[in-house]
Structure 1
Amino acid sequence: MQTCKEEALNLQTYIESGILELYVLNLLHDSERAEVQDMISKYPELNQEIETIEVALESYAQVHAVEPPFGLQERIERSILETGRTPFELRPVDENSDIQKWLRFVTDRFPEALHAENFCEPIGEQPGLTQVLVVSSVDIEDETHEDVYESFLILQGKCKCTVDGHSFYLEKGGYTQIPLLTNHKVEIVEGPVMAIVQYLSA
């Protein structure tokens, strides 16, 4: 049976492991998140640690914040006028999005993207939500968003995402949402990579 001192030491070791930072950034697998939530239920004092981490990350992000893309709405409207396409009723992407439906959408609406090495066209915009179809054979440099959540659904190819220093891979069907005020970049592993990129207002 652990003594109070041993329990406190073990809890401090757990805090210093960095898992709470990954929990706050939503970078844990489901099993790992469940483990953290179980620890929080056993040790409510962890909530204070989580609040401290959130404040620290927000402060860091505000110092290093980069404005979201300027003029995106105007480019979307101009593209619609130039191509004669009617506005598309947006369907927000998430981890349950139907990849085949999106591929059919691209085939019907942006067939030129299927064989492109690099391609970027707005799909549409509505209050609080913007979507862009992107095909890229080159890496996407570091960026941070201050007041929009960026997420993307991979339709083809494979890429390596690095979010606040933590890396993971995404391929066809893969989805991720970037936490607000968090530095991130994308490296092409098997290209070109095609993705639905989504910006959701905070």
Structure 2
Amino acid sequence: MNLQTYIESGILELYVLNMLDETTYNEVQDCILKYPELTGEIASIEKALENYALQNAVEPSAALKAKIEQALFTTSINFSQGEVVPINELSDYHKWLDFVSAYFPEALNAENFAELVTDDQRIKQVLVVSSFDIDEESHADEYESFLILKGRCRCTVDNEVFYLEPGGYTQIPLNTNHRVEIIEGPVMAIVQYRTAFS
């Protein structure tokens, strides 16, 4: 076997990237056992690919980074009062209902209720129960979002109208008029305010 030709064929790069079918992968592993000098070549390829990845890495946008962090955080949360657990479209409203049952049981049968859940420099969350419509408003310096835990409501955001029920989530863009009408109440929600430039 001509090792130099084998090395230059590109098969080792495909091996390192795990892009070979099972048969070819096993053949490369057999070659590595027969020709230990291939181990050094593979280490060089791994180092070169790592350097290339670092040199060409693209920093995700702040919005994408926040979304990824929230998604990862939400999948491994342990709820406790005062802990910041950001809500997003992946949030499990059943876990939030369990949290409410444990820390705010009086809210479960309330017609109207509001209690601060958590507040830090970036995020403030309020547990809200409402039997009344929420008047039109907009925010210039913070994103408002909410996760519905109970009830059903109609949201108007600019000229878009949509309905939310338990598990429904929405985020309101900055400087955007929005209002909430109660369809089946009372509606219980986690309302979150996140500073726009955090």
- The TM-score range, normalised by the shorter chain, is 0.5 to 0.7
Cα distance, 1:190 vs structure 2 = 0.3
Residue 128 (structure 1) aligns with: 122
| Contact 2:81/2:103 (<8 A) preserved | no
Residue 77 (structure 2) aligns with: none
Structure 2 residue corresponding to 1:94, chosen from 70, 88, 99: 88
Amino acid corresponding to residue 165 of structure 2 in structure 1: E
Structure 2 unaligned blocks of 5 or more: 1-79
Aligned residues: 117
In 1: Cα distance, 2:120 partner to 2:92 partner: 21
- 1:73-112 to structure 2, matched below 5 A, reads 88-112=82-106
1:36-87 Cα distance to aligned partner (Å, 9 max, x none): xxxxxxxxxxxxxxxxxxxxxxxxxxxxxxxxxxxxxxxxxxxxxxxxxx95
1:139 aligns with 2:133: yes
More relative contact order, 1 or 2 (CA 8 Å, 6+ apart): 1
Residue 119 of structure 2: SS of its match in structure 1?
A: strand
In 1: Cα distance, 2:98 partner to 2:193 partner: 22
In 2: Cα distance, 1:93 partner to 1:134 partner: 14
Residue 167 of structure 2: SS of its match in structure 1?
A: coil
In 1: Cα distance, 2:81 partner to 2:102 partner: 14
1:177 aligns with 2:180: no
Residue 162 (structure 2) aligns with: 168
In 2: Cα distance, 1:174 partner to 1:168 partner: 10
CA RMSD of aligned residues (A): 1.1
Cα distance, 1:140 vs structure 2 = 0.1
Give TM-score scaled by structure 2 length.
Answer: 0.58
Cα distance, 1:98 vs structure 2 = 1.2
Residue 159 (structure 1) aligns with: 153
Amino acid corresponding to residue 151 of structure 2 in structure 1: G
Structure 2 residue corresponding to 1:148, chosen from 127, 142, 148: 142
Amino acid corresponding to residue 141 of structure 1 in structure 2: D
In 2: Cα distance, 1:104 partner to 1:179 partner: 29
Residue 191 (structure 1) aligns with: 185
Cα distance, 1:184 vs structure 2 = 0.3
1:90-147 Cα distance to aligned partner (Å, 9 max, x none): 1000010011110010000000000000000000111110000000000000001010
Name which one, 1 or 2, has greater alpha-carbon Rg: 2
Residue 102 of structure 2: SS of its match in structure 1?
A: helix
Amino acid corresponding to residue 173 of structure 1 in structure 2: G
1:146-181 Cα distance to aligned partner (Å, 9 max, x none): 100000000000000000121100000000000000
